[in-house]
Amino acid sequence: MARHTRMIDQTERLSVDALREVFEWLALIDLPDRHGLGWIIAAHTCTRWRRILLDMPNLWAAIVCVFETEESFATLVRYAKNSPVKITRSNPYLPTWARTWALANLHRVEILADCLDTLAGFEQAWDPAFHNRDLPALRELSLIILGLDAGFECYRPPAGANPLRAPSLRRLRLRMVQIPLYAPSLTHLRMTLSARSGHGMLVSDLLVALEPCLMLEEVDLVNAVLADASTRQTNCHLPRLKRLSIQPTSSDAALSFMSNMFAPSLQFLQWRFPLSYAVLQTLSTQAVRQFIACPDFDTLRIRCERDHDRSRYFETCLGTYSALMRLFTSHDHYPLEGEHNGLRLCMDEGGSAPDAVAAVSDLSAQSIVSVLHGNQSNIRYIHLSIAHNFPSTTDTLSDWATSMARVLAPCRNVTQAEVLVDNTDRFSTVRSLLNPPGEELIFPRLTQLVFNLVRTAWLPGDRQPLDAPTWLAHEHNGEHLASFLAERMSAGMPLSSIEVTLEYCRENREEELNLFHAEVLQAVGHLLAVDSIHSKEQKK
């Protein structure tokens, strides 16, 4: 108690302004189990501190939804006085009393996040809020409908509703919700609508809505963009836009969007759409060509596989080595949360049969050639996720390798090739692709082959890397690997090293990777120009 008293006595010499600064720093410190609330303890330490803290409404306004009862909420709102209030919780569902207060005091809300299960519930709770309102304090808004009711209908305000005016809004996240907004300060937009036809925004309407948003930096649109027949030209200038993701959408919508958008600062571009000749036109737009011309793009990633909906797609990623290392084995459809600068292009080849084989059509090959135009010499690294999607029939494999050769042959400066390895892979696919029989070998400067081991089971506790003898024996992989290396050596293009990595996992697999690597080198190490004893775990 004496020590406690001495500490308070010492702070008596501090001015009110100094104590205010101390309390503001306490509010920023996120101590374990305190969640930045250490200053509340200070409010109960002595009368002087409490009097000062009660005169700092901004601190109370930031935590009005931290506590679970309506009484504590009302108390904190009273302490917040007229300061902008944060209506958000770790639990996405707002309590009814918090939602009711927010609806009546939208002009005071700084951050608002709410989630409801159904469209009917959302309309009952929030529809009155979206009619000609001013939201001067709003900086972040997140509204989500989970769509648990039949139909997966999206919320739309009544026809003719005036836009909400939110001049300070920076971040906007909408799921199954469309609301007209005037938000010139918007920097981050993420909108997910229903996959059903007619539930997105027309390209022309979207461009008009984005036109005032000159501060926009990130846009992530899922099932949100529809092509329209409008011939209206809308030159949407977004000088600060760095990251753009539109998936899935029609290729015509992508073409219309990119033809009318100017984004000189673009660093990440992601599309997913059905394959059509509009893809080639889209890749030729000024915005895309300026983006792809970045000299730092030195890595090409190619994946042919079936996605979770069992449709076939061909994915191309172009970017820097460090950015694409994480993206290589990722199935994340929302990459804006990470640092993945570059181009990500998913082209749906069509076909929904469970045994459908991912193919490379002439059109998809033309698309990648168009992406690489003028950029081939920059490519140093190739990542391939391909082998397990192809049958063992010679004709199919040969046709596929011929199509891929058009894509890969111009990249003559590639030094490293990484391939995924699991219990269904056939190394014969890689051999046919990079060492085409009777033709010039692909990648004449290739010196390093990297095997990326994929865990064979889906349950986290069962995921184990393959052992080398099993993989080498499967589908004659060992024979094809030895022949691949011997053919490169005979052509005067020997590989100098083989590496083994493992896609991200929490456990330390260094010992198992070293064993896999040693057994591979024991089988084919004599066919390398320089034996490399190197194995590492790939970090996500």
- pLDDT of residue 76 exceeding 90: no
User: What was the pLDDT predicted at 531?
Assistant: 47
Q: What's the mean pLDDT when you consider all of the chain? A: 78
Q: Is the dihedral of CA 375, 452, 502, 460 positive or negative?
A: positive
In angstroms, the first-to-last Cα distance of the chain is 50
For the ranges 5-14, 69-78, 505-514, the one whose mean pLDDT is highest: 69-78
Among 484, 481, 458, residue whose Cα is nearest residue 469: 481
User: What was the pLDDT predicted at 218?
Assistant: 95
The residue type of 474 is: H
- pLDDT of residue 433 exceeding 70: yes
The pTM for the full model equals 0.79
User: What was the pLDDT predicted at 83?
Assistant: 87
In order of start, what are the domains of the chain with their CATH numbers? Answer: 12-55 (no CATH), 415-540 (3.40.50)
Residue 470: band (very low, low, confident or very high) from pLDDT cuts 50, 70, 90: confident
- pLDDT of residue 348 exceeding 90: no
User: What was the pLDDT predicted at 332?
Assistant: 44
User: What was the pLDDT predicted at 534?
Assistant: 45
Residue 536: band (very low, low, confident or very high) from pLDDT cuts 50, 70, 90: very low
SS3 letters across 11-67: HCCCCHHHHHHHHHHHHHCCCCCCCCCHHHHHHCCCHHHHHHHHCCHHHHHCCCCCC
Determine the average pLDDT of the residues in 438-453: 91
Among 172, 206, 173, 207, residue whose Cα is nearest residue 186: 172
Q: Which residues touch 287 (CB under 8 Å, ≥6 apart)?
A: 258, 261, 262, 263, 266
User: What was the pLDDT predicted at 232?
Assistant: 65
User: What was the pLDDT predicted at 397?
Assistant: 66
Nearest-angstrom CA–CA distance, 407 and 279: 16
Among 34, 72, 6, 47, residue whose Cα is nearest residue 26: 34
Among 271, 495, 431, 301, residue whose Cα is nearest residue 379: 301
Q: Is the dihedral of CA 419, 425, 429, 435 positive or negative?
A: positive
Could you give the percent of the chain with pLDDT greater than 90? 21
- pLDDT tens-digit series, residues 222-254: 888 888 776 566 789 999 999 999 888 888 888
DSSP 388: G
- pLDDT tens-digit series, residues 296-335: 888 888 877 655 454 567 788 888 887 776 555 444 434 4
- pLDDT of residue 496 exceeding 90: yes
User: What was the pLDDT predicted at 17?
Assistant: 63
User: What was the pLDDT predicted at 393?
Assistant: 52
Number of Cβ within 10 Å of residue 90's Cβ equals 7
User: What was the pLDDT predicted at 311?
Assistant: 56
DSSP 374: T
Nearest-angstrom CA–CA distance, 285 and 114: 39
Determine the average pLDDT of the residues in 79-98: 85
Q: Which residues touch 96 (CB under 8 Å, ≥6 apart)?
A: none
User: What was the pLDDT predicted at 38?
Assistant: 54
- pLDDT of residue 198 exceeding 60: yes
User: What was the pLDDT predicted at 300?
Assistant: 87
- pLDDT tens-digit series, residues 258-297: 989 899 999 899 888 887 888 888 888 888 888 888 778 8
Nearest-angstrom CA–CA distance, 297 and 407: 16
